[in-house]
Amino acid sequence: MTRLTDLPATQAKNLAELPCPEFATRPWVTGPALSERRVAIVSSAGLVVRGENPFRGRDPDFRVIPGDTKADGLLMSHISVNYDRTGFQEDWNVVLPIDPLNELAADGAIGSVAATHYSFMGATDPVQMEPHAREVADRLKRDQVDAVILPPV
Amino acid sequence: MSALGHYIEEAGIATVALSLIRPQTENTRPPRALWVPFELGRPFGPPSDPVFQKRVLLAALRLLEREDGPVLIEDFPDDDPRAAPDPAWRAPFIPPTVANGDIASVTSRLEAEILLLSGAHQRWVAQTGRTTVGVSGMPIGDCVRYIADWLRGKAPESPREGFSAPLILRFAVDDVKAYCLEAAAAGTAKPSSRQLGDWLWNETATGAGIRALRAAHFDSEDSRLKLIASNFIIPSARLLP
């Protein structure tokens, strides 16, 4: 199962036709070469550091994932059951690629890795997420981040 | 993800999204996105394949250097090599599931099955150095007891402040599923997600118990319990006709 066409017809239709917000603007930020960028991950997989509160349903806020979090310290509390979790169970980098990101920094392909990453619950209403996303943006700026990768799940 | 990308980019930070569902990304039109032809749940492709994962990551990050947007949506060319089944994989030994067993029998067999899988799960933890069991906040034995109580017609209280009993039930089911799937993946074979899912939902007492849980509370008068049991414990692709 690798493509939307491989999913049950009802699930595929629901995913493809999920209501999306209309935006009046098309922001586009440029920056230095990739080798000079400081990169953070902002996931929508409902990730949470072990011991902290998991997402409850469609909570619109976010969880902080320190860059030195160990693999055993990361849990997934996404509301949906309609996606594979066995990949994440074997290797967290399938969802939150902290190890490859650190390798790219060591290789010099990127400038550095952010001190902190973040996770949202992706099935949440984007309008409710907006103030929390803007708070994350402020935190990223304070960490001198100028590039963000956004993996779904 | 596309909406998050819009908000963060609008705040002045360049973003690139990964896309698992191309039509959604085409509708939301984020600044930049890399569509990947992988299974939902695996945005960076195969587990335990750091070279492949780094290729995906770098392909996405390279879009930050392009100047021909917005909007940029590119496709990653290669499929996930771990999507194929591994014929060498063998499921852990468990007693055969009895079709149409009554709910008391299913519950007892679920409890016994989790105990039986404990050795395989310990091997998994030793092998990988981690477990994803823990979202409920309860040890696995307590998760099983919590589920068994619901199956036996009790309505146990939530042990966690701020979390409803049905939501804790959902997380306990998540933990028990993760425990079984991790135990089943212990060893040197590399089973596909479909192999593991087929085993869990077709051959185990745990799968049968979760189906029984759904059947018992599908029409609950508690709207939260009804919602959880109906939609959030069994994947829609695994519902029986």
Query: Is A22 a domain residue?
Result: no
Q: What is the mean pLDDT of residues A8-25?
A: 72
Region for B44 from its dihedrals, namely left if φ exceeds 0, alpha if ψ lies in -120 to 50, beta otherwise: alpha
A-B contacts at Cβ under 8 angstroms: 269
pLDDT tens digits for A71-119? 999 999 999 999 999 999 999 999 999 999 999 999 999 999 999 999 9
Contacts of A93 in chain B (CB under 8 A): 44, 47, 50, 53
Asked if B187 is an interface residue toward chain A (Cβ–Cβ < 8 A), one would say: no
In a domain, A20, yes or no: no
What is the tally of structural domains in chain A?
1
Interface predicted TM-score (ipTM) of this complex, two decimals: 0.95
* Cα separations in angstroms, B128 against A50, B94, B117, B190: 17, 23, 16, 13
Q: Judge whether A101 is closer than 8 Å to chain B, CB to CB.
A: yes
A63 falls within a domain: yes
CA atoms within 13 A of residue B36's CA, in its CB half-sphere: 30
Judge whether A119 lies within some domain.
yes
Flag whether A47 is in a domain: yes
A122: containing domain: 35-149
Report residue B51 as tokens.
Answer: 């070279």
DSSP secondary-structure letter at A23?
A: -
In this prediction, residues B159-188 reach a mean pLDDT of 97
- Confirm whether A3 is domain-assigned: no
Closest Cα in chain A to B26:
A16
Which residue in B18, B64, B70 is closest to A151 by CB distance? Answer: B18
Is residue B206 over pLDDT 70?
Answer: yes
Q: Is B157 touching A (CB cutoff 8 A)?
A: no
Q: What is the DSSP letter of B135?
A: T
A108 domain-assigned: yes
pTM: 0.95
